[in-house]
Structure 1
Amino acid sequence: MAALLLAVVMVTLLGWLPLSAAAQGRNGPSVTQMRLEQADDGVYLTAAVQFELPSLVEEVLDKGIAIYFVAEAEVFQERWYWTDRKVAQVTRHMRLAYQPLTRRWRLNVSPVPITGTAGFGVSLNQNFDSLSDAMDAVKRVGRLRLGDLSDIGDEAQHQVVFRFRLDTSQLPRPFQIGVVGQADWNIVAERSAKLPLEKQR
């Protein structure tokens, strides 16, 4: 009897697993667009990420605590005789915070980590009337400068790896401890693709 009960429980659990995995795949963060462009002053990557901000993260933002996102891109040159060579790497750091006095959302964008006063001096600041508008700006990672054309190379296609994540390491210490193991804070997306180098329109 016990063996039969155990078998029923196992079959039930196994029946839930594919549904759960499918739901995660459908709702999980993903990189929906990547575009490589050549301009007069270098080569740029534009990407778009799709995800829903969990309510727990929204609650933290509403309390005036900033959250941080990181976007990273790498370009590799394929070599038939050896491992691929990395020819470019760039990182963008984003800090999103609610300003209670103005009731607006501020987004800081910087090529270096924004910690304390570091990063603010080289950051681009944008203000938004709603969290939705601010998140749209976070999800559109535009014009990441990868380098000069001479650095990237003039091949017909380039192997590009793009990563996007919520950086919990910059949260206040009590929150860092509290988010361990919580799926709501695990916002990560990655995509690797061969992209043609398009002329800037």
Structure 2
Amino acid sequence: MTTRFFRLIACQLLLLFVCAQALAADGVDVTLARIEVTEEGYRLDARYAFDLNRDLEDAIQHGVSLYFTTEIELTRPRWWWTDEKAVSARQSQRIWYDVLLRQYHVSVVGSIKQNFATLDDALFNIRRPSRWLIAPRSGLKPGETYNVTLRMFMDRQFLQKPLQVNAFNNAGWQLGSAKKTFTYKAE
């Protein structure tokens, strides 16, 4: 009796582990994240790996705009108080399909759009965004070390209200990365 019980527990744990791996595979992986210094200031160079599931592809094909938001935060550790927040920035990209023109469009919110013939080409632009200015040169203190936290996710708050209800209750509409952390020494 106890052997059966332990086998049942082992099978359930294995099933739980496999399901957790399957859910993790549906997320966004941050494959590259680094900060570059330029004349204008500090820019984020990031690369992401993800695939859209069938629900999200169908939504785009039917003209629903999807938004992918990248959030970055740089904090300077202090031993005597809480960490000092030096930079907190956010950028959203929109992807949508124009049914009449049969083109995919991608734009950074508030910027010009780019047109693409295929969904893969449009997603490539979201997975490899242009280097984005996150702080001016005066925003960081040269020589100081900062803790960087970065994440990217499909921002469901931009969706139309009827779709938001479905998106918040449906696991297929919850696409995002875990927070990636690393240190950066300002130049």
Among the aligned pairs, what percent are the same residue?
27
TM superposition shift of 1:42: 0.8
Q: Which residue of 2 aligns with 1:152?
A: 140
Number of residue pairs the alignment of both structures matches: 186
Q: Unaligned regions of 5+ residues in structure 2, if any?
A: none
Deviations along 1:62-107, one digit per CA (max 9) or x if unpaired, are 0111111111111111222221111112111111110112211111
Q: Distance in 1 between matches of 2:26 and 2:173?
A: 14
Please say if 1:141 is aligned against 2:144: no
TM superposition shift of 1:180: 2.8
Q: Which residue of 2 aligns with 1:195?
A: 184
TM superposition shift of 1:27: 4.8
Please say if 1:22 is aligned against 2:15: no
Q: Distance in 1 between matches of 2:116 and 2:185?
A: 34
TM superposition shift of 1:146: 1.9
Calculate the aligned-residue CA RMSD, in Å. 2.2
Q: Unaligned regions of 5+ residues in structure 1, if any?
A: 111-121
Question: Given the superposition, is the C-alpha separation of residues 66 and 25 from structure 1 closer, same or farther in structure 2, using an over 3 Å criterion?
Answer: closer
Deviations along 1:151-188, one digit per CA (max 9) or x if unpaired, are 21112643111121111122222221222332211111
Q: Distance in 1 between matches of 2:154 and 2:25?
A: 19
2:154–2:174 contact (8 Å) kept in structure 1: yes
After TM superposition, the structure 1 = structure 2 runs for residues 35-74 of structure 1, keeping only pairs within 5 Å, are: 35-74=34-73
Q: Name the stretch that deviates more: 28-37 or 9-18.
A: 9-18
